[in-house]
Every structure is written in C-alpha cells, then in structure tokens.
C-alpha cells in the first residue's frame, strides 16, 4: 500500500484458527493483535486502534455482531466477518451493524489475506477521494456528499455503513446504467474475481432497505442499476 505497517485485530475463540490466521497475516507484513472473546476484542480494539478487524460471529462474552456494533460506535473500522452459517439473515445482521465483508467457514487462508488487503485498499481510496475536494452526486431526491460521506433522501438523512456508502457512490456515478456484480466487486471491494458476488447481493439488499426498494433495480443475470426517483437532476 504505502509502506505503513497496518494493524489487524483477529477475533476468534478457536485458538488453532486464531493462531493460524495471525501467523499468516504476520507473514504478509501485518502487525496482528489477537482476541479470543467478545469483551477482549472491544478492549483491545480501543487500545490498539486496528486498521482492520477479522471477526468471528460466534464468540463467548459478546457475539461478533455486538462486538462489531460497539467497534463502529467508537470509530469506523473495516470488518471482515467469519461465519459458520451460510444464512442470509445472519449475513444481513452482520452488515447492519457495520461489517464490510464476510466469509463462510471453512475458508482458505489466502482468501482471508486477500479480503483484508482489499478492505484496506478500499479505505485508502475512500480517504483519497474525500481529500480531493467537494463532490456531490444528485440523483432525483437522492443526494450523496462524497467528501462528508453523507446521504439524504428527500431531505432525510440516511445512515449507511462505509461499504453501503461506497456501493451507493459507485451506482450513483452512473445512474440508470446496469453494473455487473463483477464490476461492483472490483470497484467497491477491490476484489479481482466473481467469488464474492453474494457479498454484493447482500449489500444491495441492505441498501434497498434503507433507500427504498425501487431505487436499486435488479437486472437478472446482469447486475444492478440506480434508478432516479423524485425531483432533481442527475449530475457528477
């Protein structure tokens, strides 16, 4: 990235898995902090100020969803959720509390490393965009302020997670244009292939719930497009 050593907090109660993740991430050049239960994760996050978090859902003390919620209240941090359940409701719960991405167990270590690296690249890219100056995207009554990372619909503020916001920006830059899942993965998650398309679908579903379903149109077999609803013009 930029030569700065990043800190990754690994939260997993199974010691063998935690140690294996920590060892692999350290081999990739990251500084790794390990936590084995929910309360320790919250405490260590406040102390170490990690750049990214790898977080298991099933934890003693506090579950991963509650840990994620508390971390995001303290300060926004990219979170990769690890879940043993391939269940949409479980995934949507994680996204609702601020998780950016998720992997279902069992997973490959190289995939965890790739997802963490992609999360960090995306955060850096968002920071560079914010520093570039004022940019406001207007799509009907939807207004997206990319510098302040604020979203309003018909004048009403809408709270989005960091990934939901980045996904919306990607769609709002090309209103009406159908963007494939693979393209969204590349532009929003910096993910090089189609292996994370379910992540896109889950985030779109969460985004629809906050913006209103008609705003994000599904083109089956192709992808998604942002529809212009309400008054106003679309510009970039």
**pLDDT tens digit string along 106-119?**
899 999 999 899 88
Q: Looking at 8-17, 123-132, 197-206, which range is the least confident one?
A: 123-132
| Distance from C-alpha of 160 to C-alpha of 149, rounded to nearest angstrom | 9
User: Where does the pLDDT of residue 231 fall: very low under 50, low under 70, confident under 90, or very high at 90 and above?
Assistant: low
Q: What is the pLDDT of residues 40-85, one digit of tens each?
A: 999 999 999 999 999 999 999 999 999 999 998 888 899 999 988 7
Is residue 37 over pLDDT 70?
A: yes
Task: Dig out the tokens for 115 from the structure.
Answer: 């997802």
Domain 7-128 fold is Rossmann fold (3.40.50)
Tell me the CATH number of domain 133-226, given options 2.60.40.4070, 1.20.120.450, 2.60.40.10, 1.10.10.10: 1.10.10.10
Do 133-226 and 7-128 fall under one CATH topology?
no
Q: Any idea of the CA torsion for 179, 110, 127, 53, to the nearest 10 degrees?
A: 120
Is residue 130 over pLDDT 70?
A: no
pLDDT reported for residue 195: 65
pLDDT reported for residue 236: 43
For the chain, which residues make up each domain, given as ranges? 7-128, 133-226
pLDDT reported for residue 46: 95
Average pLDDT over residues 147-173: 89
| Distance from C-alpha of 91 to C-alpha of 99, rounded to nearest angstrom | 9
| Distance from C-alpha of 183 to C-alpha of 192, rounded to nearest angstrom | 9
């Amino acid at each position: 990235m930029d030569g700065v050593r990043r800190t990754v907090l690994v939260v997993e109660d199974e010691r063998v898995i935690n140690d294996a993740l920590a060892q692999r991430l350290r081999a990739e050049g990251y500084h790794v902090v390990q936590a084995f239960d929910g309360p320790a994760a919250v405490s260590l996050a406040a102390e170490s100020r990690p750049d990214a978090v790898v977080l298991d859902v099933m934890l003693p003390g506090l579950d991963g969803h509650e840990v994620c919620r508390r971390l995001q209240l303290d300060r926004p941090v990219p979170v990769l959720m690890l879940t043993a359940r391939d269940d949409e409701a479980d995934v949507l719960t994680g996204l609702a509390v601020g998780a950016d991405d998720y992997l279902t167990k069992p997973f490959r270590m190289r995939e965890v490393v790739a997802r963490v690296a992609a999360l960090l690249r995306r955060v850096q890219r968002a920071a560079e965009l914010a520093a570039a100056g004022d940019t406001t995207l207007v799509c009907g009554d939807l207004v997206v302020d990319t510098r302040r990372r604020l979203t309003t619909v018909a004048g009403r503020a809408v709270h989005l997670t960091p990934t939901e916001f980045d996904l919306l920006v990607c769609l709002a830059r090309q209103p009406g244009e159908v963007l494939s899942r693979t393209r969204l993965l590349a532009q929003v998650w910096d993910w090089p292939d189609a292996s994370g398309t379910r992540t896109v679908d889950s985030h779109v579903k969460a985004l629809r719930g906050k913006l209103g379903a008609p705003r994000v149109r599904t083109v089956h077999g192709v992808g998604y497009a942002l529809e212009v609803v309400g008054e106003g013009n679309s510009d970039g």
